[in-house]
Homo-oligomer: A and B are copies of this chain.
Amino acid sequence: MNKRSRKIDVVIVGSIGLDDIETPFEKRTGLLGGSLSYACPSASFFAGSGMVGVVGDDFPEKYMSLYESFGIDLDGLKKADGKTFRWSGVYDKDMINRRTIFTELNVFGSFVPDLPDSYRSAPFIMLGNISPSLQLHVLSQATRPKFVAADTMDLWINTARKDLDRVVASVDMLTLNDSEARLLTGKHNLKQCTESIMKMGPRYVVIKKGEHGAMLACRTGLFLLPAYPVDAVLDPTGAGDSFAGAFMGRLAEIRKVSDRTIREALMYGSVVASFCVEGFSVDGLRRLKRNDIERRMTALRKMMG
């Protein structure tokens, strides 16, 4: 995609990292990782996406080229003195549960997400899982976005509840996993969790259940979305970010926000995430064509009866 012609439909804020990942079958080091590395490529199949993140001076040039090969706008990507965020994890033999070996925040620890001028009027904004105060900082720079989704995690629910409540009150959609939804609301039943969260502000709540799919709640009811079943999971890292990125991209492509378009965009999220887990890092997305995505969408529609 030519730089000049690039229009920023979706701005995504999050982390960029270098990952060491071990599965029962294979160990890989120095992989491209972080939520942005999954979400932006996934969005880019559908719409022009820009990433707001930070890398260190050790960030490999080949990964920069990889971002560009997806047509991602990099004006919001900062290069800071120091080392890139690093994460290392080991997956159980179920390929679902994992344990973190180490996390080094490095340059991500002092990251402040600033939107370039060209991003401020982007209609779709995805606030990846960073501190609620930084999510609010991003929101303060945006000019009347059409749709804002935010992700969060247990750390912020436990340590930054006041800012988090402000984020939740300001966004159109909150995404979080089932245990986080229970922690945030103090309720066990997931349907009741979504009802509590909607009272806090967002019109849409997505509960992510990993290999069991996701549940969307909105004012007109629930939508139960299965995960697309794949033959072999090579590396589940980034599935949720890929899901969210493709969702935002497809929604931006449709440009219309309604219960129907949200549902359809979530199905695209499920499909792109299924390609993501079939390779390490973003390998499963590299050679992916829109046709491949559409074929699985047709199959998913059939599987959902």
Contact = CB atoms under 8 A, between A and B. Distances in A.
Nearest to A232: B189
A126 to B, nearest CB: 22
A95 B231 contact: no
Contact of A233 (B189, B209, B233, B303): B189
Interface in A211-227: 212-213, 215, 221-226
Interface string A264-305: 000100000000000000000000000000000001001111
Contacts of A232: 189, 192
B223 A305 contact: yes
Interface string A185-201: 00011111000000000
Contacts of A212: 209, 212-213
A226 B226 contact: yes
Interface string A93-137: 111000000000000000000000000000000000000000000
Closest 6 CB pairs of A and B: A224-B226, A212-B212, A191-B229, A224-B303, A222-B303, A263-B305
Interface of A: 93-95, 188-192, 209, 212-213, 215, 221-226, 229-233, 263, 267, 299, 302-305
